[in-house]
Amino acid sequence: MARKHKPTDSAFALYNVVYEDGSLSSNRKLATADIDPYDRDNSVRALIERQDRKIAEASGKSRGPIKSVTLSPN
C-alpha cells in the first residue's frame, strides 16, 4: 500500500497594488501560507516588494514605491 503524502496548502490570495506614480497592478497572486496572519499588512507588502524586485531583475525596469495594497474582490 502506498504512503499518503501530506496535503500542501495551495491556496492563493489576490491583491491589487497601487504605486505612487498612479499605476495599478491587479490580481497579484500570493500564497496564503506565506502571509503572516499576525502582521498581514506588512507581510503582504514585503512579499509584493520581493516579487517586484524579481520582476525588475528579469526585465531591467523597476517599479516605484507602493502607495497601497488591497485585497482583490475577485
Cβ neighbors of 31 (< 8 A, separation 6 or more) are: 9, 10, 11, 12
Q: Does the global pTM surpass 0.85?
A: no
Please state, rounded to an integer, the average pLDDT across all residues of the chain: 89
CA 16 centroid distance within chain: 9
Say if residues 27 and 14 touch (Cβ distance below 8 Å).
yes
How confident is the model over 46-64, as pLDDT tens digits? 999 999 999 999 999 988 9
| Number of domains forming the structure of the chain | 1
User: Is 3 part of any domain?
Assistant: no
User: 1 lies in a domain?
Assistant: no
Asked whether residue 7 is assigned to any structural domain, the reply reads no
Residue 27 belongs to what domain range?
12-71
Query: What is the 8-class DSSP label of residue 5?
Result: P
**6 found inside a domain:** no
In a domain, 18, yes or no: yes
